[in-house]
Amino acid sequence: MPIGICYTLVVKILLVQPPIEDYYNTSVRTYPLALLYLGAAVRESADVELLDLRTNKKPRPIPNGSFPDLKRYYRDDVYTPLSFFKRYYRFGADTTEIKNAVEAKRPDLVAISSLFTTYSMEALDVARCCKEVSADITTVIGGIHPTLFPEHALNSPYVDYVIRGEGETPFSRLITALKSGKGTGIDHIKDIGGVC
């Protein structure tokens, strides 16, 4: 390396909106606004891309849903006020599609949105898929669920860091610390928890 030239580590960040599993979907749940804020906060210091694993995917019914004990209440031949909840769907990519997308993008870090506790398992499943693609991918989860229950996310062997509260500032600081090559000072960044 020539003297006087400083080379910095280029970090490729993938911001992921995970799929959800539910009886229905609404447009308010499909707009990844928080991820767009994160991307804007770090776009000057990293290569950032949004991966929406939920929108523009045909919903797929999940046989017996996650609640097989309720099957007798949700029958095709019976119409009740609960008939709206007859089918349980996966809205978004399946695990094979997730792994293929992550492998194609080749990120150094994946930040996963986990807005609702109801969908926290889907977010953790994305983290698992990322680590199965490459154990070297750093995984970060943020949103309302990890803000309220950080230990739930950090108990997963697939999650490296949790960001609590408003994420732009702590996420930017985390990226800066990771780019230093040593993770210097991560323990002292407000609103970040980690297992690394």
pLDDT of 2: 36
Query: 145-171, pLDDT tens digit by residue?
Result: 999 999 999 999 999 999 998 888 899
Which helix (H) or strand (E) segment holds residue 47: the answer is strand 47-52
Query: 18-71, pLDDT tens digit by residue?
Result: 999 888 787 776 778 889 889 999 888 889 999 999 888 888 888 766 666 766
Query: 116-149, pLDDT tens digit by residue?
Result: 898 999 999 999 999 999 999 999 999 999 999 9
Mean pLDDT (whole number) for 105-115: 94
pLDDT exceeds cutoff 60 at 107: yes
Q: Which of 100-104, 167-171, 191-195 has the highest mean pLDDT?
A: 100-104
Which of the pair, 186 or 160, is modelled with greater confidence?
A: 160
Q: Which amino acid is at 161?
A: Y
Q: How far is the C-alpha of 191 from the C-alpha of 166, rounded, in Å?
A: 9
Query: 77-101, pLDDT tens digit by residue?
Result: 766 666 666 678 899 999 999 999 9
Q: Are strands 60-61 and 192-194 parallel, antiparallel or unpaired?
A: unpaired
Which of the pair, 4 or 75, is modelled with greater confidence?
A: 75
- Exposed / middle / buried, residue 61 (Cβ in 10 Å: 0-12, 13-18, 19+): exposed
pLDDT exceeds cutoff 60 at 6: no
